[in-house]
A = this chain, B = another copy of it.
Amino acid sequence: MKQLLLIDKQEQALRVSRVVDGMKAASTDAVLLADNASKYYLTGRVYAGYIYVTVNGDVTCFVQRPVELDGPEVVYIRKPEELPSVIRDIPSRLGLELDIMSYSNVGRLKAIFPDSEIDNASTVMRRAREIKTPAEIALISESGVRQERVYRRVPHLYREGMTDIELQVEIERVSRLEGCLGQFRISGDSMELFMANIITGDNADAPSPYDFAMGGAGMSPSLPVGANGSEIKPGYTVMVDVNGNYTGYMTDMTRVYSLGEICDEAKKAHECSCRIHRELTEAGRPGTEAKALYERAIEIVTEEGLRHLFMGHRQHARFIGHGVGIEINELPVIAPRSRDIIRPGQVIALEPKFVIPGVGAVGVENTYVVTENGWECLTNAPEDITGLR
Contact = CB atoms under 8 A, between A and B. Distances in A.
B36 A192 contact: yes
Interface string A186-210: 0011101011000000000011111
Contact of A122 (B104, B173, B224): B104
Interface in A52-74: 64-68
A20 interface: no
A248 interface: yes
Q: Please indicate which of the listed interface residues A6, A169, A248 has the most CB atoms of chain B within 10 Å of its own CB.
A: A169
Q: How many of these chains are in the complex? A: 2
A97 B365 CA distance: 36
Contacts of A44: 221
Interface in A34-50: 34-36, 40, 44-49
A182 B194 contact: yes
A177 B183 contact: no
A interface, how many residues as a size bin?
35 or more
Nearest to A48: B209
Contacts of A34: 190
A166 interface: yes
Interface of A: 6, 34-36, 40, 44-49, 64-68, 96, 98-104, 106-107, 120, 122, 165-166, 168-170, 172-173, 176-177, 179, 181-183, 188-190, 192, 194-195, 206-211, 215, 219-224, 247-248, 314-315, 326
Contacts of A222: 40, 45-46, 181, 183, 247-248, 326
A190 B64 CA distance: 12
Contacts of A107: 98
A177 B181 contact: no
Nearest to A316: B67
